[in-house]
Amino acid sequence: MNESRAAARYAKAILNFAVEKKKTDVLEEDMRSIVATMSASKDLREMLGSPVLKGELKKKALMAIFKGSHAITEGLIDLLIQNRRISLLNEVALKYIILNEDLKGEGAAFVTTAVPLSGELEKKVLSKVSSITGNKITIKNEIDKSIVGGFILRVGDLQYDASIANKLNTIKREFTKSI
């Protein structure tokens, strides 16, 4: 099974359980903590991905790192350990956050541009994305000079690439096919 699909299934199951127990916001805080901790620690990511370390050792380390987390979060860690899917923890947490924001009618749109968005352009993008999704959206502008121009818009799992770099790569592929 595709790793991303597996993570999405775990996240959806945990969200459904959290909704049933009315603990979605508490779990979102835990998931954000997991994402922040995992992104800050290369050693932790390597430890979770290591096939050499036993699951019990990984479980003890995670329970110590995330001490004070809700019982549902601890149950998720235990379940991932039992199913030998603990390497998916970060991805499950990210998917949970996205699903919970969708459930609340909120979300974030990530716009990657070569230069910062102007206030006027940001308002236009915000209104367009809000009208398409029907959710309350916040815009997060990321700068990446390698896209040359245009933009890449990411909302949830959807992505629209209107960058000049993408168009140049498409032309290059077509040109090399015709030779």
Whole-number pLDDT of residue 19: 92
**Regarding beta strands 158-161 and 106-113, do their DSSP bridges make them parallel or antiparallel, or are they unpaired?**
unpaired
Mean pLDDT of the residues in the chain: 88
Query: Where do the CATH 1.10.520.20 domains begin and end in the chain?
Result: 3-101
Cα separation of 118 and 175, whole Å? 35
Give tens-digit pLDDT for 102-127: 788 777 788 899 899 888 988 888 88
57-81 average pLDDT score:
91
CATH tag, 3-101: 1.10.520.20
Question: Is residue 79 helix, strand or coil?
Answer: helix
**What pLDDT band is residue 2 in, cutting at 50, 70 and 90?**
low
